[in-house]
A and B are shown apart, each in its own frame.
Chain A
């Protein structure tokens, strides 16, 4: 007899296997959960991996304080539906404590998530953080392990990674060190949307086309919000947009789109000419190695 799993079944099975390895090997893991599409795939995988039992880890959101309310509400709703515990670690708390110091009030807070994350890891004693990062997102991520070792300072050393062979994941760490586990490393943006469709996953509304006030700044579409106000000379337009990624308001831009359901988004994803982060992440456009630099500092 010959049988192979379909590509979605294979990806799902691999992700379940990775999550169970975390549960089996680590003593105090946590799942990073933002309410975004990738982390929603992770919670569905966790359900398939551990139900009818509870998740062997809490969920944790690193909140910059600059998030769309639709996403925060959705995050809370989803957590209570799952019946799991949510920890919210806040960048604004770190700012109050003085561990996060912004260069200016309007500086994007995305990169400071690293500091808040490391503080939360220390406070709760987590030895592993499960995240929804994918290797197709960015060139530094293409080289990251599925179980990625971070030292006591949360740093990623790309030149000194543990070799990862077969599907034998070495998640052993000393106290203070940390593993970042990425169960959907091998998924692409398209796989994520196909999985969302197949599993009928509910998403925050801002992933779907809606009317929004925006301005055009450089080559990006910038939503007009309290934290991203209109600058002098800019013209507000009200157009149909959707978000391809969801994160801190100040560094996540929407794309023009009429795709108001998952099927249409899949069609659009198949024919898009711009990468996911290229279109929408203002923080990756700073330099050729922006993501690599952030990861070395302890970012996801």
Chain B
């Protein structure tokens, strides 16, 4: 459990379709946490009336683009914000429609928690399984199954337990249930507001936390393994042109700690060159600090003048990691144009870009039944295991071990569109 007043950020995604009441749930969270202000509410009231509804339709809060309002569906990932005064929440609202698998993967890529909505009347659907599979694929460690529309099944406790049981069985089947993954269940009625922010009066048999209490208390901190330092260099600071003479020889390396700890006096090496040095100073702005933790953007000075540029990675001296020129990865294909095995693509991994060839499509995931099948071609929204051959060496970890150094995007060399998203599995 985190301490009360823990002031940090929780990023979560919501999965489900309009029919599951996803938009209503988000609307309810924002409304009951008093994030929705009068003028927005008035607009929603107007629109609700225009559409002939008697009560305010909270799902309209998440309506974004003109085309979406016209079609009554969500096309693109939208980001919403609310705070409880302690924690700041960022919601990635992903559309639930089948053709938008890529949006779900996009939303999941930055989420720490997935809230999967299940319609209590319908139980587990193909879609529920798909959302769960994608959450697992993208490495989300916390899953909350919110069993919605409890009001429509008279808040029946045994139906709720049956759905929980079904879900756990399925989670075992896809190996979602594992020691590193935390799965929780809450019965809710987004429409009536039961068990979202307030407990309501209809779910007295449920003794667990409300959805907001769950969010407030979710501990997303992970053990920082000091030794797994990954510091990709983003930018090299050389103010030699400055008027300040003291800065003529100043050189520092700017970037963000992706994992591990970086401390003053740490012995480090630069990959791929292998040059060694020692950390002299770590700064955030003007402030000197003794150690930098994951997700912190810092400026680092070293004791030796060695050649370092953008795309290099600092790791601890005794780390055995090496640069590689190939690997296999699970890839979600994002582009309308199918993957071509005869073309060269660009791969963007941490701060490095390399040319890449895809040498083999091993198999593809049938998103309906989650089984693997052979594939010759990869089209938009397909997920498959591919082999890669790189022109430049990259310093990678498997995605399971490290979300930052295990992930990459594929860019079309001629259009520069982002066409694929990959998660590294095994290193060749």
Residues in chain A within 8 A of chain B (CB atoms):
1-7, 9-14, 16-17, 20-21, 23-24, 47-54, 56, 135-136, 139-140, 142-143, 158-159, 161-168, 170, 172-174, 185-186, 188, 190-191, 272-275, 278-279, 288-289, 292
Contact at A163–B310, with CB atoms within 8 Å? no
Contact at A188–B9, with CB atoms within 8 Å? no
Tell me which residues across on chain A come within 8 A of B110, comparing CB atoms.
165-167
With A275-B39, A278-B39, A279-B39 known as contacts, the answer to whether A159 contacts B296 (CB < 8 A) is: no
Contact at A142–B43, with CB atoms within 8 Å? no
Contact at B407–A168, with CB atoms within 8 Å? yes
With A53-B237, A168-B407, A170-B409 known as contacts, the answer to whether A140 contacts B65 (CB < 8 A) is: yes
Tell me which residues across on chain B come within 8 A of A13, comparing CB atoms.
256, 295-297
Shortest C-beta distance, B90 to chain A (Å), equals: 6
Tell me which residues across on chain A come within 8 A of B349, comparing CB atoms.
168
With A24-B351, A158-B65, A274-B39 known as contacts, the answer to whether A165 contacts B106 (CB < 8 A) is: yes
Q: Indicate the member of A52, A53, A167, A170 with the most B CB atoms within 10 Å.
A: A53
What residue in chain B is nearest A189 (Cβ atoms)? Answer: B81
0 or 1 for each of B277-298: is its CB under 8 Å from A? (1 = yes): 0000000111000000101110
Contact at B234–A24, with CB atoms within 8 Å? yes
A sample of 14 inter-chain contacts (CB < 8 A) reads: A2-B224, A6-B7, A7-B83, A12-B297, A20-B235, A24-B351, A50-B235, A52-B247, A162-B418, A163-B334, A163-B418, A165-B106, A165-B418, A172-B346
Contact at A4–B220, with CB atoms within 8 Å? yes
The complex places the Cα of A259 from the Cα of B256 at a distance, in Å, of 37
Q: A3, A14, A159: which contacts B224 (Cβ < 8 A)?
A: A3
Tell me which residues across on chain A come within 8 A of B244, comparing CB atoms.
52
Contact at A143–B297, with CB atoms within 8 Å? no
The complex places the Cα of A23 from the Cα of B351 at a distance, in Å, of 12
Contact at A135–B81, with CB atoms within 8 Å? yes
Contact at B37–A272, with CB atoms within 8 Å? yes
Tell me which residues across on chain A come within 8 A of B404, comparing CB atoms.
166-167
Contact at A143–B65, with CB atoms within 8 Å? yes
Q: How many residues of B contact A (CB 8 A)?
A: 76
Contact at A274–B285, with CB atoms within 8 Å? no
Contact at A1–B224, with CB atoms within 8 Å? yes
0 or 1 for each of B1-39: is its CB under 8 Å from A? (1 = yes): 000001111000000000000000000000000000111
The complex places the Cα of A5 from the Cα of B220 at a distance, in Å, of 12
Having A20-B297, A56-B235, one finds 13 other A-B pairs with CB under 8 Å, namely A5-B296, A11-B88, A13-B295, A16-B256, A16-B297, A17-B234, A49-B297, A53-B239, A143-B79, A158-B76, A164-B418, A165-B407, A170-B418
Residues of B251-296 whose CB lies within 8 A of A: 254-256, 261, 284-286, 293, 295-296
With A7-B9, A49-B297, A186-B81 known as contacts, the answer to whether A289 contacts B66 (CB < 8 A) is: yes
User: Closest 8 CB pairs between A and B?
Assistant: A278-B39, A48-B285, A16-B297, A53-B239, A172-B416, A2-B221, A165-B109, A7-B88
With A7-B7, A136-B81 known as contacts, the answer to whether A163 contacts B65 (CB < 8 A) is: no
With A1-B226, A278-B39 known as contacts, the answer to whether A142 contacts B409 (CB < 8 A) is: no
Residues of B78-92 whose CB lies within 8 A of A: 78-81, 83, 87-88, 90
The complex places the Cα of A279 from the Cα of B296 at a distance, in Å, of 35
Contact at A188–B81, with CB atoms within 8 Å? yes
- Would you call B421 an interface residue if the criterion is a C-beta within 8 Å of the partner chain's C-beta atoms? yes
Contact at A163–B102, with CB atoms within 8 Å? yes
Tell me which residues across on chain A come within 8 A of B221, comparing CB atoms.
2-4
Tell me which residues across on chain A come within 8 A of B106, comparing CB atoms.
163-165
Tell me which residues across on chain A come within 8 A of B261, comparing CB atoms.
1
The complex places the Cα of A278 from the Cα of B39 at a distance, in Å, of 6
The complex places the Cα of A43 from the Cα of B37 at a distance, in Å, of 30
- Would you call B320 an interface residue if the criterion is a C-beta within 8 Å of the partner chain's C-beta atoms? no
Contact at B76–A161, with CB atoms within 8 Å? yes
Shortest C-beta distance, B405 to chain A (Å), equals: 11
Tell me which residues across on chain A come within 8 A of B81, comparing CB atoms.
135-136, 186, 188
Q: Indicate the member of B254, B407, B408 with the most A CB atoms within 10 Å.
A: B254
Shortest C-beta distance, A257 to chain B (Å), equals: 16
Contact at B411–A5, with CB atoms within 8 Å? no
Contact at B310–A274, with CB atoms within 8 Å? no
Residues of B281-332 whose CB lies within 8 A of A: 284-286, 293, 295-297, 310
The complex places the Cα of A3 from the Cα of B2 at a distance, in Å, of 11
Contact at A52–B222, with CB atoms within 8 Å? no
Contact at B9–A10, with CB atoms within 8 Å? yes
Tell me which residues across on chain B come within 8 A of A161, comparing CB atoms.
76
Tell me which residues across on chain A come within 8 A of B234, comparing CB atoms.
17, 20-21, 23-24
Residues of B53-77 whose CB lies within 8 A of A: 63-67, 69, 75-77
Tell me which residues across on chain A come within 8 A of B416, comparing CB atoms.
170, 172-174
Shortest C-beta distance, B322 to chain A (Å), equals: 22
Residues of B354-371 whose CB lies within 8 A of A: none
With A52-B237, A278-B37 known as contacts, the answer to whether A6 contacts B8 (CB < 8 A) is: yes
Tell me which residues across on chain B come within 8 A of A191, comparing CB atoms.
88
Contact at B38–A274, with CB atoms within 8 Å? yes
Contact at B105–A165, with CB atoms within 8 Å? yes
The complex places the Cα of A191 from the Cα of B85 at a distance, in Å, of 11
Contact at A166–B407, with CB atoms within 8 Å? yes
The complex places the Cα of A6 from the Cα of B349 at a distance, in Å, of 27
Tell me which residues across on chain A come within 8 A of B235, comparing CB atoms.
20, 23-24, 50, 56
Contact at B79–A172, with CB atoms within 8 Å? no
Tell me which residues across on chain A come within 8 A of B83, comparing CB atoms.
7, 188, 190
Shortest C-beta distance, B7 to chain A (Å), equals: 5
What residue in chain A is nearest B222 (Cβ atoms)? Answer: A2
